């Protein structure tokens, strides 16, 4: 029983790290503050204006400002991480 619990724990931890099991903290922030001008389809458009992780960071900061979301640095970083894991998959510098 103890072994099963340990295995389950490791499996769940691994899953949540890849953002499948638990909702990413950035997701609710995007859902709440980032749908006024565009929806999530813009992150997968073929003519994306973003080509690198630093460009994604700059864009999120720009749009956070435009959205008047008043996020702190942690929240901004959560959203950058969420968009990168879910959509852009840029290598981190
Ligand atoms: C005031 C309107 C507005 C709001 C609110 C807004 N955006 Fe944007 N966003 C834009 C516009 C306009 C573009 C397209 C810019 C272009 O094509 O040059 C864009 C593009 C983007 C892109 C790049 C898409 C791509 O791959 O080409 C990302 C990422 C993004 N927004 C993230 C966000 C996030 C995160 C939020 C919430 C904090 C947000 N946006 C809220 C106006 C907005």
pLDDT at residue 18, rounded to an integer: 53
Pairs from 12-19 (Cβ < 8 Å, separation ≥ 24):
18/85, 19/82, 19/85, 19/86
Percent of the chain with pLDDT over 90: 75
80 lines ligand 1 (CB under 6 A): no
The tens digit of pLDDT for each residue in 49-76 reads: 999 999 999 999 999 999 999 999 999 9
Question: For ligand 1, what atom is nearest to the CA of residue 79?
Answer: 35
2 Cα: distance to centroid of ligand 1 (angstroms): 48
pLDDT at residue 22, rounded to an integer: 83
In this prediction, residue 90 has a pLDDT band, given cuts at 50, 70 and 90, of very high
The more confident residue out of 66 and 14 is 66
28 Cα: distance to centroid of ligand 1 (angstroms): 16
Instruction: Name the residue of 42, 56, 72, 78 whose CB sits within 8 Å of the most ligand 1 atoms, as the mutation to test its pocket.
Output: 42
Q: Does pLDDT of 16 surpass 90?
A: no
Q: Does pLDDT of 23 surpass 80?
A: yes
Rounded to a whole number of angstroms, the CA Rg of the chain reads 16
């Amino acid at each position: 029983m103890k072994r099963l619990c340990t295995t389950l724990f490791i499996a769940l931890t691994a899953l949540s790290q890849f953002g499948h099991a638990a909702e990413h903290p950035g997701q609710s922030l995007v859902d709440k503050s980032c749908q006024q001008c565009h929806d999530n389809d813009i992150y997968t458009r073929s003519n994306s204006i973003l080509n690198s992780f630093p460009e994604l960071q700059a864009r999120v900061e720009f749009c956070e400002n435009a959205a008047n979301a008043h996020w702190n640095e942690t929240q901004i970083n959560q959203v950058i991480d969420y968009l990168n894991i879910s959509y852009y998959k840029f290598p981190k510098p």
